Structure 1
Amino acid sequence: MTKFYQKRTPNFSSIYKLALFAFFVFTIFSCNKEDEIGLDLIPQKEMLNLEFCDTLLLKSYTVYNDTFSTKNKTLSLVGSYHDPIFGKTAAGFLTEFRLSSTDVEFDETSYVNSFTLNMVVDDYYGDISTPMTINVYNISREINTETEFTEFDKNQYVTEDSLITSFTFTPSQNGQDTLIKINLPIEFANRFLGYSDQEFIDNAKGLYVTINENETSESILYIDLVSSKSNLDLEYTYFDGEDSVTTNFLYLINSACERQNIFTHNYEGTEISSEITLGENSINEVNYIQAMRGVNTIIEFPDLKSIVQDQKIAIMKAELVITESEDYVSSDYQACEKLNIIVLNDSLEYLNAPDYDILGSEHFNSEYINNSYVFNMTAYTQGLITSDVYDNSKLIVSAFANTISANRVVVNSGNSATNRIKLKLYYLKL
């Protein structure tokens, strides 16, 4: 298997960010202070008189992640790993498949030569030199995408008789080939020869592809199901008079097919389990963040308004710095390449941070650089101080591309003795 890499976006110019935020903040204050001199009229020498603060205490703790949808994602994950910090994590997926054409007819002379499930591997996480066993099940009901799977009940979709095949392989031994080919039993394929188009729709509900529950593969594969090379390939032979003809018919897995990622996490016996129990009462020096709907870190700013008191200030720049804990750096389990932040308001609504709306996803979500993640939170911080929109709000910090990646990271908390979560403020007194 080729060594995949995750694409990085170029760094957004920090000068441009600062200019953009400054313009945004100046605009807010010009609008809100109609009876006062606008910030654009403040003498240049006063503009240089910036105050700086990075000593505000922040509150942080770890919670389960129930925020992100796992439906119809660009990648489908399969595999497992056992992390000494995060416990055992497993991934699988449900998917429909469809006829590539409705004008095919299998007559009574037709017979199956082979039936192959082809899946394109886009990337991976973990140790791909460890063998992996993939189980493929035939599901008995339509994929329900109306609700999220907080806890997947396998028995709602499959029975003991639903297992089609098990396939054991070592991903690293695929060499340059990024296509997994799983041979499905002829007996399973034969049922499709007898189906009319409508019978296929009525009976072919889809597949459940998952890891063998009795083993740990130590890697998660990122499968691109909507690739034109991902499909079910039926090779069959029929007779045209006395001549035999061998051909192929494809069952497609494409964007029109319902797909759902399934993740399970077992934190029993880990530090995370006790942290979840403590919740916002935690005084631990670290917090945890894991993709695949694992765990998030919550950050609150209880002391932010203490710098305001009876004065008015304009935030010129506010940087939220989140640092990976040195005690938990692992060469075996790579840290999240990016983190994401959303706002949870006091009405329990999920909102984009205003800085996200200004910069967009590509430039707001912080990359992992020098063991840290830095977010420009200028507009959000100003809103906390001057508006009631964000009163009692919290920041939810999660892994970027949460439901299509498997990374995790342990970060210093707001209670950490060194390199704690920090808000760096540059502001003007008005």
Structure 2
Amino acid sequence: MKRKSLFWSSRIKRRQNIWIIIRRFTTKYSQMNRPNRRGIAATLLLTAAILFSCTKVDNQFGDDFIPDDEQMKVCLDTLRGIDTYLTESDSFPTSGMVYGYMGSGWDPVFGRTKASFCAQYNMNYFTTGSEMFGIAPVFDSLMLWLTFNGSFYGDSSKTQKFNIYELTGYLDSDTTYYADFDPSSIVSDKVLFSFEITGVPSEEVMLKLDSEAAIEFAHRLMDTTGGTYTSDSLFHDAYKGFCFAPDPSSDPDACVYRLALASMEMGLYTRNFTDATATTPKDTVITYYSFDNTLFNQAHVSMISHDYTGTPIQGINDTLTTSTPLPYGYVQTLGGVATFVRFTDDFVDQLLGKVVAPYNSMVINKASLVWSLADPTAENFNQAPSRIGSYSDYRKFTGIPDYDYTYETSSGTSLIYGGYLDRTNGNYATDITIFLQKLIAKPDSAPRTMTLGPGGDLLAEFKQVKLKTGASDPPLRVIVAYTLVK
């Protein structure tokens, strides 16, 4: 068994005791009145000077008795040598989102984003009695209520025309749908109803579906047999849902809206009569239909596409080691562009080269990868995501070991990873300590790549940011604090 130096041990204890005395004295000192403090302060300064002067001569006494393999050296360095490319996820899930997206918007840097969505609905409740439509219902009106989230992408001052189509095929509530889902095979060619939106409505939008096609549809909703209203499956056999999409003639350079599915509702107004001749009115019945109610098995999916033609963004998914690293990285929500990061052989050699004789190993205390905004203006700060995440598998949104945001969310703790937007310094600082420690332990097999994307809880937002990279000036850097061990 290796023996530790008694001199080293006693010196540490002596320092600890000194600081305990000072801390306790400081606490008492803060509770004294001002006249007493002046005298005590002078005594405190004199005492501290005497105590610490006692360590001046023997400050290093005993170091020679420390075993060689317990001697360490703490260092701080800045490393460069990181290549970045652009990538885009082809499997961005949208069926689990609480929003529906529709519209088309343009940005000179991030290109065109276009969206539409399909959603099922179920009968939620009706307002009177137990007869519902009764034996001789008469149609009055069909209403649709939409709630816009307030967020948008693009130019909301332009008017957009939207169409509502009836679904002719099924959406399966047990299936995961992605942003590239093609609904053309399950959407009717016939427009059920059209409406226009300008600006971002701050209040609920109420639409009266009074087109000929909508009135015909409303009559089909009035099922007096009650058979289609007895189960979700029977209901969706008859009424499969709607698709909301921009009209082909609408301005493509307008904006994309976000609608809260839980607040969407359809209301069918009818009059119930007591006899088949419809001569004796009984009640006005309002039947409400919900688009996102946890009591029902409902499916919904948003189709979202990104087109970067005519923008600085190019070479997406060109991430081979022989590819040319790009001077800027881009991060966009809603399954848009992300930044693929590769730590080069040169970076790894620099890192491993820090271990030189007489030291044999390295322990990373903290490694911070700093991402600077390309143009840190107030406007770009507002458009940027409040946090960026580092992912080992961007298709599944699996974070690197330092960024286990699923655990962070479920446990209610805050990760050391950070990754938050620092408006003062115009950057994001991400902690990749565990990632680099694994690289040191197994430089030949440990992962050397990651993907930088929006924070895990921001994927459904309208956010985007342009970042400096390893090919920028100054280049991307990692600030590493580490300990060398003999």
Q: TM-score, normalised by structure 1?
A: 0.78
- Give the equivalent residue in structure 2 for 1:417: 473
Q: Give the aligned partner of residue 164 of structure 1.
A: 192
Relative to structure 1, the CA distance from residue 350 to residue 249 in structure 2 (aligned partners, 3 Å threshold; closer, same or farther) is: closer
Deviation at 1:117, TM superposition (A): 2.3
Residue 307 of structure 2 corresponds to residue 266 of structure 1: yes
Equivalent position SS for 1:317: strand
Which secondary structure state, in structure 2, belongs to the residue aligned with residue 271 of structure 1? coil
AA aligned opposite 2:205: I
Distance (whole Å) between structure 1 residues aligned to residue 382 and residue 403 of structure 2: 28
User: What amino acid is the match of 1:114?
Assistant: S
What does the per-residue CA deviation read over 1:351-380, in whole Å, with 9 as the maximum and x for residues that have no partner?
432222397256446222223222111122
With normalisation by structure 2, the TM-score equals: 0.69
- Cα gap change, 1:154/1:67 in structure 2, threshold over 3 Å: closer, same or farther? closer
| Alpha-carbon separation, structure 2, partners of 1:61 and 1:104 | 63
Matched, 1:205 2:240: yes
**1:360 corresponds to 2:360:** no
Q: Tell which deviates more after alignment, 385-394 or 120-129.
A: 385-394
1:146 aligns with 2:175: yes
Task: Please state if 1:231 is matched with 2:265.
Answer: yes
Of 336-345 and 274-283, the range deviating more from structure 2: 274-283
Contact 1:124/1:219 (CA < 8 Å) preserved in 2? no
SS in structure 1 opposite 2:162?
strand
Do the aligned partners of residues 365 and 182 (structure 1) sit closer, same or farther apart at CA in structure 2, a change above 3 Å counting?
farther
1:363-378 matches, cutoff 5 A: 363=415, 364=417, 366-370=419-423, 371-378=426-433
Q: Does 1:180 align with 2:197?
A: no
Alpha-carbon distance between aligned partners in 1 of 2:108 and 2:381, rounded to the nearest angstrom: 11
Q: Among residues 307, 325, 347, which one is paired with 1:283 in the alignment? A: 325
Is 1:323 the counterpart of 2:365? The answer is no
- The amino acid across from 1:201 in the alignment is H
What SS class does the counterpart of residue 190 from structure 1 fall into?
Answer: helix
Q: C-alpha separation between the residues in 2 aligned to 1:223 and 1:384? A: 44
What is the deviation of 1:69? 1.8
- Whether the 8 Å contact between 2:145 and 2:266 is mirrored in structure 1 is yes
Aligned-partner residue type, residue 169 of structure 1:
I
1:394 & 1:67 partners in 2: Cα distance? 19
CA distance in structure 2 between the aligned counterparts of 1:379 and 1:278, rounded to whole angstroms:
24
Deviation of 1:408 (Å): 1.5
Residue 466 of structure 2 aligns to which amino acid in structure 1?
A: V
The correspondence of residues 123-142 of structure 1 with structure 2, limited to 5 A, is: 123-126=150-153, 127-142=155-170
Q: CA deviation at 1:390?
A: 6.5
SS at match of 2:402: helix
The CA deviation string for residues 299-324 of structure 1, in whole angstroms up to 9 with x for no partner, is 12122353224541111111111122
Q: CA–CA distance in 2 between the matches of 1:331 and 1:168? A: 30
Paired residues in the alignment total 379
| Paired amino acid for 1:318 | A
Is contact 2:135–2:274 with CA below 8 Å preserved after alignment? Answer: no
Q: What is the aligned partner in structure 2 of residue 252 from structure 1? A: 290
2:184 is aligned, of 150, 155, 158, to 155
- Provide closer, same or farther for how the CA distance between residues 99 and 366 of structure 1 changes in structure 2, counting only shifts above 3 A: same
Amino acid at match of 2:113: T
Partners of 1:77 and 1:404 within 8 A in 2: no
Contact 1:76 1:404 in 2 (8 A): no
How far apart in 1 are the matches of 2:131 and 2:333? Answer: 42
Structure 2 distance, partners of 1:372, 1:112, is: 59
1:285-300 → structure 2 map (5 Å cutoff): 285-300=327-342
Aligned to 2:77: 53
CA 1:287–1:193: 2 relative to 1, 3 Å: same
The CA distance in 2 between the partners of 1:385 and 1:332, in whole Å, is 35
Structure possessing the higher radius of gyration over alpha carbons: 2
Which residue is equivalent to 1:404?
A: 460
| Corresponding residue for residue 307 of structure 1 | 351
* Cα deviation 1:3-39 (Å, max 9, x = unaligned): xxxxxxxxxxxxxxxxxxxxxxxxxxxxxxxxxx99x
Q: 1:191 is aligned with what amino acid?
A: R
CA distance in structure 2 between the partners assigned to 1:62 and 1:393 by the alignment: 16
In the alignment, the residues of structure 2 paired with residue 328 and residue 136 of structure 1 have an alpha-carbon distance, to the nearest angstrom, of 40
Identical pairs, percent:
20
For 2:352, the aligned partner's letter is V
Paired amino acid for 1:271: P
Structure 1 range deviating more: 130-139 or 275-284 = 275-284
Q: Distance in 1 between matches of 2:115 and 2:382?
A: 16
